[in-house]
Chains A and B, each alone.
Chain A
Amino acid sequence: MEEILVLTHADETGAALTRASLEAVTAGKELAARLSASLTIGIVAVDATNLAKTLASAGSRLLAVSGEAFTQARYATDAAACEALCRAANATIVLAPGSSRITRVAAGVAHRLGGFIDTHITGIGGAEAVEATRWFYRQRVEGVLSRDARPWFLLLDAGTHAAFSGEPGTEQVEEVAVQLPAIRTTVSGLRAPSQGTQTIRPDAKLLLVAGAGWTKKQADGQTHTAEAADLILGFLRAAGSSLGSSKSLVDQGGEGNSVLPFLTHLNQIGQTGATPRHAKGLATCCHGEEPHVVGWRFIADRRAISLDPNCGWTRGKADVVYVADAFPVMAKVNALLEANKA
C-alpha cells in the first residue's frame, strides 16, 4: 500500500502555510482517497503548532520539523528537514508544492532517499497506476508519465488544485528531530528588484503584457517611453493587474536602449521567462511569437492589441486581436477604469 506524504511549509510571516502548500494537501487527500492509502502531512516552520491547527480536519497524521533554522529557505537546512520528514513518514509517494523553497531542495532529498522526482505536475490521474501530467519543451508538449520506483516525489504547479480549507482544531503534531549539517549560508532577506510600484502580482485575475512596441518610434518619428510607462503603470493601478513582458523588451535594458524602468527579467513571460496563471491576459505592442506565447499556456482568455494584422496573436494564439495603436486605446481604457472607480 502506498504511504503518501505531503510536504508543506510556512509562508514569509511564519504564521500560516503557503497557499501552494494547502493546494498540495488537497492533492494528497484526493490521491490518498483514490488509492486507499495512508496520508501524512509534514510541516517545515519555525513553530508548527499553530500551523497544524489549520490541518486538523485533514484527517491525516501530522509531522513537523520546527526551529529557528527553518525560518528561511536554505538548501542545507530545508533538505535536512524534508529528508527527516520523509524518513519519519516512510513515504512511497511525496507530494509537495512547486514553490521556490521546495523546488530548491526536493531533488536532492529524493536522491538521498534513493528515490526519483518529477516536477511541474499539473494533474495526477491513472486507474491502475499513478500517472502524472506535465509539460515538456516549455509548455509546448504535454506528457503523461508514471514510475514504478519509490519513493516518488511529485512537485505540483501552483493553481492546479483548490487550496485545502477546513475547520481549525487541535491535532497532535509529532515533532521530528533533524541532524543539521554545517551551515555555510546565511539568508539575509528578500529584495524587490524594482523600487516603487509592485508590478508582479501572482494572484491578479488579469495579466497585462507589454511588448517591445511600446518603446519603438511612433507615428511622429519619436519614441514615447515616458508616456508608455505612465499608461502601463496607470493600467496596473486601475485594474490591479500583474505585468508581464516579452524578452525583447526587457533585453533592451541590457543593450542600453530606451527602457521602461520598472521592467526586469522577472517580468519576462515565455520560453526563458515565467508561465504565470491568470484568468485573463491582454497583450499590448507584442508580436505574439511562439517563444513568448508558450508562457501563456495557462491563460485561458486572451486578447491582444497590435498594429500588425498578421502578428502571431492573429494565428490562433489569442481569442480577440484589436488591430490598433495601443497608446490611445490604453489611455481610453485607463480613463474608463478611473471613471468606473469614481
Chain B
Amino acid sequence: MANVLHIVVCAGIVPDPLQTLEPVTGPNGPGLKNEMVLPAVLDPWAASALYEAAALAAKNPGSKVWLVSLGPKAKLQQVMMTVAQKAAFELVPIDGPIGGFPDAHSTAAVLAETIAALPGLDRAKLLLFGGWESATRGAGVTLQLVGERLGITDQFQGVDQIDLHDDGSFEVLERVEGGKHQVSVCAGAPAVLGWATGNLAEPRNNPQIGMANMRTLMPALQKAKPATLAANGLRYVSVALPKQQRTTRVVKDLTPDQIAAELVEWMGAE
C-alpha cells in the first residue's frame, strides 16, 4: 500500500567545486571574490536528498516534493535550469544571500517560516529532507534547526538509505563512526532526514520532467520573497585561505622495486 508523503527538500546553491575560491571581506562581512559570477551548482548532498525524495515520491502515488532554496534569485534561476531536468518538484525560492558565512540560525528561521506557510502541506505527512552538511558552511545544523522550529523530534543525519514500510513506518540508515551505519525504525512522518550520498546515481536529464517543472518554476522565481539574514552576534575575526604550500618532489626515474622500498621506509618512519 502506498503512503502519501509530503517531502520538503531544503537545498542551497554552492560554487562549482572546481572553481578557485578567494575570500574577501566587505562591509557586510566575509564573502567570496566574484561570488555572484562563479558558476554554481545545487549543493551536492542536498542534491542527493532531492533525488531520493523524487524517487520516494514516484513510488508513492499522490506524494509531492517541494524544493525550498535560499539564494539570489538570478543564481537560483541559473541552477534550476539544470536541476529541473532531473527530478519533479515544486520550487519554493527565497531571494536571499549566497555563501557559507551567514549565520545558520538565521537561515533556519527563514526556511522554517517558509515551510510552515506552504499551501497544501500536511505536517503529519511531512518528511523534511536536505543535505546533512552543505558544501559552503558545512556546519550540519541548519536542517536540524528547521526541524526543531517545526516541532519535529525524530531526526536523522548522515542518511544513506530509507525503506518505507506499508504502515508508514520506515527503516533508516545513518552514518556513524568507523564506516558503519546506525539502523533505526521510525514510526513515520513527520521526520527530518539529513542525507549523505544515498544510493542513487544522479538522474539523467529528462526533458519531459524539465518541461513540467518549467511551468511553475519561472512564476515561482518571479514571486520569490526577499529575505535578510540577521548576524545573531556572529563576528568573524579572520577569513583566509590556508597558508600551507607544498614543494612537490616528482619522481620519474625509479623502478617499482625502488619506489616500493622508499614507500615502505616512509611508512615505517615516525
Contacts and interface: CB of A to CB of B under 8 A. Distances in A.
Interface residues of A, number: 102
A303 B266 contact: yes
A319 B155 contact: no
Given A137-B135, A181-B153, A272-B197, A315 B248 contact: yes
A285 interface: no
Interface in A133-158: 135-138, 140-149
A264 B160 CA distance: 11
Nearest to B263: A333
Contacts of B23: 141, 143
- Chain B binding surface, main DSSP class: mixed
A148 B178 contact: no
Nearest to B251: A322
B259 A322 contact: yes
Given A206-B267, A254-B201, A340-B264, A143 B248 contact: no
B125 interface: no
Nearest to B144: A107
A314 B45 contact: no
Given A147-B233, A188-B183, A322-B251, A332 B256 contact: yes
A177 interface: no
B124 to A, nearest CB: 13
A320 B100 CA distance: 33
B256 A141 contact: no
B180 A192 contact: yes
A88 interface: no
B175 to A, nearest CB: 7
Contacts of B187: 184-185
B215 interface: no
A321 B249 contact: yes
Given A265-B196, A267-B179, A337-B264, A185 B185 contact: yes
A140 to B, nearest CB: 5
A140 B241 contact: yes
A186 B185 contact: yes
A184 B157 contact: no
Interface string B50-88: 000000000000000000000000000000000000000
A266 B176 CA distance: 10
B173 interface: yes
B34 interface: no
B207 interface: no
A89 to B, nearest CB: 20
B123 interface: no
Interface string B111-123: 0000000000000
A211 to B, nearest CB: 16
Contact of A141 (B182, B200, B239, B260): B239
Interface in A327-342: 328-333, 335-337, 340
B139 A116 contact: no
Contacts of A143: 23, 30, 101, 236, 238-240
Given A79-B153, A318-B246, A336 B184 contact: no
B136 A137 contact: yes
19 contacts: A72-B182, A75-B156, A107-B148, A117-B105, A136-B100, A137-B14, A138-B138, A143-B240, A145-B236, A147-B234, A191-B173, A191-B181, A193-B179, A202-B178, A271-B17, A314-B250, A324-B256, A329-B256, A329-B260
